[in-house]
Structure 1
Amino acid sequence: MATRADSIASNLNLANFSKATELRQRIWFTIGALIVFRFLSFIPLPGVNPAALQNLADLGRGGILDLFNTFSGGSLERMSLIALGVMPYITASIVVQMAAALHPTLAALKKEGATGRQKLNQYTRYGTVFLCAIQGWFLASGLESFSAQNGIAAVVDPGYMFRIGAVVSLVGGTMFLLWLGEQITSRGIGNGVSLIIMAGIVAQFPMFATNLFEGGRTGAIAPGIIIGFIVMVVVLIVGIAFVERAQRRLLIQYPKRATQQGMMQADRSHLPLKLNTAGVIPPIFASSLLLLPLTISQFAGNSVDTESTFGTAIVTLNQYLAHGQPIYMLLYAIGIIFFCFFYTAVVFNPEETADNLKKNGGFIPGIRPGKRTAEYLEYVLSRITVVGAIYLTVVCVVPEYMIAQTGIPLFLGGTSLLIVVNVTVDTLSQVQSHLLAHQYGDLIKKAKLKGRLR
Structure 2
Amino acid sequence: MDLFKTLKNAWRVPELRKKMIYTLWMFAFIRIGAHVTVPGIDTAALSSMMNSQNNVLNLMDVVTGGAFKTMALFALGVGPYITASIIMQLLQIAITKLEELAKEGEIGRKKINKYTRYVTLGLALIQGAATTYTIRSQGVLVNQSIWTFLVVLIGLVAGSMLVMWIGEQITQKGVGNGISLIIFINIIARLPKDVYLMFQTSGYIKPLIIILLFVLVIGFVVLMAQGERRVPVQYAKRTVGRKIYGGQSQHIPIKVNLAGVLPIIFAMSIMNFPQIITNLFGGTTNEIWSQILLYLNWTHPVGTVIYVVLIFAFAFFYSTIAFNPMEIASNMKKGSGFIPGIRPGKPTSDYLSDVATRITLLGAIFLAILAVLPLVFQLIFKVQVAFSGTSLLIVVGVALETLKQIESQMLMRHYKGFL
User: TM-score scaled to structure 2, two decimals?
Assistant: 0.91
The CA deviation at 1:345 is: 1.1
Tell whether the 8 Å contact from 1:198 to 1:420 is kept in structure 2 after alignment.
yes
Q: What is the aligned partner in structure 2 of residue 47 from structure 1?
A: 40
Matched residue of 2:337: which SS?
coil
Tell whether the 8 Å contact from 2:271 to 2:298 is kept in structure 1 after alignment.
no
Q: What is the aligned partner in structure 1 of residue 70 from structure 2?
A: 78
Q: What is the aligned partner in structure 1 of residue 150 from structure 2?
A: 164
Q: Any residues of structure 2 matched to 1:41-440 within 5 Å, and which?
A: 41-59=34-52, 61-147=53-139, 154-215=140-201, 221=202, 223-256=204-237, 266-301=247-282, 304=284, 306=285, 311-440=286-415
Matched residue of 2:237: which SS?
strand
The code of the aligned residue for 2:18 comes to: Q
C-alpha spacing 1:16/1:195, structure 2 compared with 1 (3 Å): closer
- 1:424-443 deviation line (CA, Å, top 9, x unaligned): 1111222222333445555x
The code of the aligned residue for 2:132 comes to: A
Q: Distance in 1 between matches of 2:246 and 2:309?
A: 49
Tell whether the 8 Å contact from 1:63 to 1:292 is kept in structure 2 after alignment.
no
Matched residue of 1:410: which SS?
coil
- 1:401-451 deviation line (CA, Å, top 9, x unaligned): 223443433341121111111001111222222333445555x27xxxxxx
C-alpha spacing 1:201/1:62, structure 2 compared with 1 (3 Å): farther
Q: Distance in 1 between matches of 2:55 and 2:325?
A: 38
The code of the aligned residue for 1:378 comes to: S
C-alpha spacing 1:410/1:14, structure 2 compared with 1 (3 Å): closer
Question: Quick one: which of 10, 15, 20 aligns to 1:27?
Answer: 20
Of the structure 1 ranges 277-286 and 170-179, higher mean CA displacement relative to structure 2 is found in 170-179
Matched residue of 2:338: which SS?
coil
Matched residue of 2:152: which SS?
helix
Tell whether the 8 Å contact from 1:293 to 1:314 is kept in structure 2 after alignment.
no
Tell whether the 8 Å contact from 1:363 to 1:369 is kept in structure 2 after alignment.
yes
The code of the aligned residue for 1:251 comes to: P
C-alpha spacing 1:16/1:128, structure 2 compared with 1 (3 Å): closer
Q: Distance in 1 between matches of 2:46 and 2:35?
A: 12
C-alpha spacing 1:404/1:99, structure 2 compared with 1 (3 Å): farther
C-alpha spacing 1:106/1:372, structure 2 compared with 1 (3 Å): farther
Q: Distance in 2 between matches of 1:407 and 1:288?
A: 26
The code of the aligned residue for 1:113 comes to: G
C-alpha spacing 1:260/1:409, structure 2 compared with 1 (3 Å): farther
Tell whether the 8 Å contact from 1:20 to 1:438 is kept in structure 2 after alignment.
no
Q: Distance in 2 between matches of 1:225 and 1:324?
A: 20
Give ranges in structure 1 of 5+ residues lacking alignment: 1-8, 148-153, 216-220, 446-454
The code of the aligned residue for 1:191 comes to: N
Of the structure 1 ranges 23-32 and 156-165, higher mean CA displacement relative to structure 2 is found in 156-165
Q: Distance in 1 between matches of 2:339 and 2:55?
A: 48
C-alpha spacing 1:239/1:294, structure 2 compared with 1 (3 Å): same
Q: Distance in 2 between matches of 1:288 and 1:14?
A: 36
Residue identity over aligned pairs, in percent, reads: 36
Q: Distance in 2 between matches of 1:298 and 1:248?
A: 44
Matched residue of 1:269: which SS?
strand
The CA deviation at 1:187 is: 1.1
Tell whether the 8 Å contact from 2:3 to 2:403 is kept in structure 1 after alignment.
no
Q: Distance in 2 between matches of 1:264 and 1:82?
A: 54
- 1:64-85 deviation line (CA, Å, top 9, x unaligned): 4222211111111111111110
Of the structure 1 ranges 184-193 and 66-75, higher mean CA displacement relative to structure 2 is found in 66-75
The CA deviation at 1:247 is: 1.0
Matched residue of 2:265: which SS?
helix
The CA deviation at 1:382 is: 0.6
Tell whether the 8 Å contact from 2:332 to 2:338 is kept in structure 1 after alignment.
yes
The CA deviation at 1:14 is: 7.2
The CA deviation at 1:119 is: 2.6
Aligned pairs, number: 418
The code of the aligned residue for 1:140 comes to: T
Tell whether the 8 Å contact from 2:36 to 2:73 is kept in structure 1 after alignment.
yes
C-alpha spacing 1:210/1:256, structure 2 compared with 1 (3 Å): same
C-alpha spacing 1:115/1:367, structure 2 compared with 1 (3 Å): farther
- 1:336-374 deviation line (CA, Å, top 9, x unaligned): 111100111122222222223333343323333332322
The code of the aligned residue for 1:141 comes to: Y
Tell whether the 8 Å contact from 2:88 to 2:116 is kept in structure 1 after alignment.
yes
The code of the aligned residue for 1:269 comes to: Q
Tell whether the 8 Å contact from 2:133 to 2:280 is kept in structure 1 after alignment.
no
Q: Distance in 1 between matches of 2:376 and 2:19?
A: 40
Tell whether the 8 Å contact from 1:324 to 1:404 is kept in structure 2 after alignment.
no
Q: Distance in 1 between matches of 2:33 and 2:281?
A: 30
The CA deviation at 1:257 is: 5.1
